[in-house]
Structure 1
């Protein structure tokens, strides 16, 4: 538990500075908005194919810890390439190698954690809380650092935080599942995907995360355009992570009060409210603070709900591929479309219109979640 908590803390400490400030670093290099959106979308592009490949390999080998160590080591070496400004194409290649490996770590870790906690989502929340705390630390400290010293130290931050991730993976215990036989390795996922509840769940996930990438990819640039300082932007990111930490700390006491599909619907409604407030009320800091506090539901509760639903439907030798599909459909396809379409919309129509479109996508995701609740209710009714 402590080893996985350390990995979660170090991994999200890396994400906590990298994701919020990557667009601002690229902007400091003089790159146009469309190029920034293309480069920030590289992470999502790799999540279209990399997590499933790593997940299938982990299901076959049964050794996710080894794969986590390899991923961390390669990402660390690749990050050194950011120290040299070779132009957009060089940055693209460096980010591509980095994200192929760091992007796979989420699904590998989630699969290992699902095996470890065995349905105890209170324990899961406490481990993820350490990740949120790591995110909170770096998003706040990095914001103050970049405000004072400028964005030039961004590459060094990337290398330092990935070194911590590698050290954390080296402390993980050996956790091997039985090596898959030829029959097990070919166990198909299509019978599970044909289930209506699973299809509607993944549809809800896709629209929800696609909408959410308006926050991940553009809220820093949006707030900067409204005159917010870099330290204020970092503080507002920190507000969302404080809400996330509190949720993960308390979720063991509250998550059992609703069924998982009901949580999925509630989280979707919270996302609609959050993005709507961000779109049309961002000139008032109090409104942005409330919107960021909704991160507790729009991300934290939604993430636990999705991991729980994937674990329910994808068991045994399907565990790794199930968690990988969660990453591919949500953060892969959803991320690519969210960042690229969001960047194009923001450049042509402005950030307000872009966040308004994201609000509409979140509403569609909520309707899909409502369909999941109906299917579960019907299934309960049919039980003898």
Structure 2
């Protein structure tokens, strides 16, 4: 790493940001279940932040590219997220919770796409090392899922909102520690015709469609895995460890990701990620009661998120000019939000009617479609 690179400041932000994801992904559905909501209502409440992810990143991304004040947007979004989510302590009705989910997510989803641009701007020509910074987000996720898993073995889930507010305060504080940076222009990219014209280039739209399908397939995992494992007889502490194991595999992948991107094309990395993910959902839906198969499925998270996300960030970064970087990363977040919201909704409605096995099988089918699209539409070249 370059001596000028603010490695720990960037890493610290990722640590807190993904600690929040570690606090929501495994436990948000459990909290809503604790409040007495039915699976369909849980799916709707979990889908709301993902729906906001379809809208908010594009608004903030355009503003970031237009103004160039990306770090100011990150800081404002972090503080506003904390303030909006704090309203959860006043009421627990469905309508109020839906409002809180929408408001805080609108600002939360302003943060990461802009911060990704800042990180890549700091890395400059060393973008393959992005994973070495991003892995601290995975470490934060592990700390959150293991720590909160143990905490909720000892105390009631009534304490859940306060733990999230503490993490959000960490995100806001760390955002003021990070120095600003502006992306460099790519000499081989010409922004003629604007952002929409860039989307018409070969393979770009297909890539974003596959991002949507990947996140749709994650719907049952992020919405109901914890409840699914509870129904299989696992305790909340064990469930936290299972979530952590998946992210630990992701960290190992991030350590070696720079070498993989040198050796393999982005197309091959993405294709392998989709195929492994398809197998993973079948294992979780049908064999989660077998501990060794559950462990194997969680290790596959290295592909489901790790290699997929790292390759996707590189694909977006190399595909857009400097004044379009924020919009490119924001569209990545937005299409992921569309897929995640659709995945949470279909999982919520199918969980009781079709059951866990069929719900995860539909997820596997979605990601297999994405694999076919990547294999046939994305160009074979190296990052």
Query: TM-score over 0.5 for the alignment?
Result: yes
Q: 1:54, 1:104 within 8 Å by CA — same for their partners in 2?
A: yes
What's the CA shift for 1:138? 0.8
Picking from 362, 376, 380, the partner of 1:376 is 380
Shift of 1:119: 4.8
- For 1:361, the equivalent position in structure 2 comes to 366
- After TM superposition, the runs of 4+ consecutive aligned structure 1 residues lying more than 3 A away are 184-187
1:337 aligns with 2:345: no
| Cα offset, 1:222, TM superposition | 1.2
**Aligned 8 A contact 2:74 2:112 in 1:** no
- Determine the structure 2 residue equivalent to 1:58: 64
* TM-score, scaled to structure 2: 0.93
Mean Cα displacement is larger for which, 193-202 or 138-147? 193-202
Task: Indicate conservation of the 8 Å contact 1:121/1:251, yes or no.
Answer: no
Is contact 1:224–1:230 with CA below 8 Å preserved after alignment?
yes
Contact 1:208 1:366 in 2 (8 A): no
Cα gap change, 1:119 to 1:227, in 2 (>3 Å)? farther
Q: For residue 159 of structure 1, report the CA deviation from its aligned partner.
A: 0.9
Give me the whole-angstrom Cα distance separating, in 2, the residues matched to 1:119 and 1:300: 21
Gaps of 5+ in 2: 1-6, 185-189
Q: Which residue of structure 2 lines up, in the alignment, with residue 297 of structure 1?
A: 303
TM-score by length of 1: 0.93
Deviations, residues 325-367 of structure 1 (Å, cap 9, x unaligned): 111112x210111110111111211111100110111110111
Q: How much is the aligned-residue C-alpha RMSD, in angstroms?
A: 1.8
Does the alignment pair 1:275 with 2:277? no
Taking the aligned partners of 2:322 and 2:109, their CA distance within structure 1 comes to: 23
SS in structure 1 of the partner of residue 218 of structure 2: helix
Q: CA deviation at 1:213?
A: 2.2
1:191 aligns with 2:192: no
1:65-80 pair list within 5 angstroms: 65-80=71-86
CA displacement at 1:176 relative to structure 2: 4.7
> Using the alignment, how far apart are the partners of 1:185 and 1:196 within structure 2?
15
5+ residue gaps, structure 1: 179-183, 380-384
* CA shift for structure 1 position 192: 1.5
- Which residue of the partner structure matches residue 3 of structure 2? none
Distance in structure 2 (CA, Å) of the matches to 1:292 and 1:164:
28
1:125-176, Cα deviation, whole Å (9 max, x unpaired): 1111111111100100000101111211101001100000110001111335
Q: 1:53 to 1:137 in 2, by over 3 A?
A: same
2:355 to 350, 353, 357: 350
